[in-house]
Structure formats: structure tokens, C-alpha cells
């Protein structure tokens, strides 16, 4: 029986296994160096430590992209979409709005009681 041939096969197998392990390690390290450049989703939800929904960034069924956030009482505080920008106070009352329509853009403010005189602070036809 030729033991030299058996030793060569064992050495080759061992060398191949070590080379495979080394290449796997190198590949894993390289993967960590290259960050993901794109994350695709229709909706992202932001939750607090208790799991309560605090913000949403997504696309609605009508294909409108929007970003909305709520305060610690789960009342709306900020909303941004292609329709405008809306700010609410801690009680959830609308306090400021930039409304964008096809015909005009207007900026409106409300007093602390949430009432508005019905007039915009600034309007561009």
C-alpha cells in the first residue's frame, strides 16, 4: 500500500478545508465593509420603547408620500405631504399650516384655542 499517496490526499483535503475557511472569513469581513445603499419599503413605522406608534413615513393607497409624527400622548404633531405641511400643539390642535394646491399656496396660523379668523397670514395665487 502506498502511504505517500494517502498523505498527499489528506494534506490536499486539509489545505482545501483551511483555504475554504479563510475565504469564508474574508468574504464575511468584506460584507461588513460594504453598507446597504438602498432600503425599499412602502411604509416605515417608528415606535417608542413601549411599542407605541410615534411616526410613519410611507406611501398611501392614493400614491401620496407622507411623513407624520405624534407626540408622547399619541396626538398628531407634524405632518408633511405633497398637500402641505401641518403643525399641531401638544393637545393635537392644528396651529400652523402651509397648504399647497394647484391654484395657490397659503400659510395659516391658529391661536392657542385652535380657532382661526378664516384668513391666511400669507397667500400666493
Fold that domain 43-124 belongs to in CATH: Outer Surface Protein A; domain 3 (3.90.930)
pLDDT in tens, 51-80: 999 999 999 888 889 999 998 888 889 999
Residue 48 grid cell: 417608542
Residue 57 confidence (pLDDT): 93
109: buried, middle or exposed (CB in 10 Å: 19+, 13-18, 0-12)? middle
Question: What dihedral do alpha carbons 8, 13, 19, 25 form, nearest 10°?
Answer: -160
pTM above 0.75, yes or no: no
> How would residue 1 be classed by pLDDT, with cut points 50, 70 and 90?
very low
- Look at 22-26, 76-80, 116-120 and tell me which has the smallest mean pLDDT: 116-120
Amino acid at each position: 500500500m502506498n502511504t505517500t499517496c494517502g498523505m498527499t490526499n489528506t494534506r490536499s483535503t486539509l489545505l482545501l478545508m483551511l483555504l475554504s475557511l479563510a475565504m469564508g472569513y474574508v468574504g464575511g469581513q468584506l460584507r461588513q465593509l460594504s453598507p446597504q445603499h438602498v432600503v425599499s419599503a412602502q411604509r416605515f413605522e417608528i415606535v417608542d420603547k413601549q411599542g407605541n406608534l410615534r411616526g410613519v413615513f410611507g406611501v398611501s393607497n392614493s400614491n401620496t408620500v407622507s411623513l407624520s409624527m405624534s407626540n408622547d400622548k399619541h396626538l398628531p404633531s407634524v405632518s408633511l405631504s405633497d398637500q402641505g405641511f401641518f403643525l399641531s400643539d401638544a393637545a393635537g390642535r392644528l396651529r400652523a399650516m402651509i397648504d399647497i394646491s394647484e391654484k395657490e399656496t397659503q400659510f395659516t396660523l391658529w391661536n392657542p384655542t385652535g380657532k382661526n379668523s378664516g384668513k391666511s397670514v400669507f397667500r400666493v395665487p
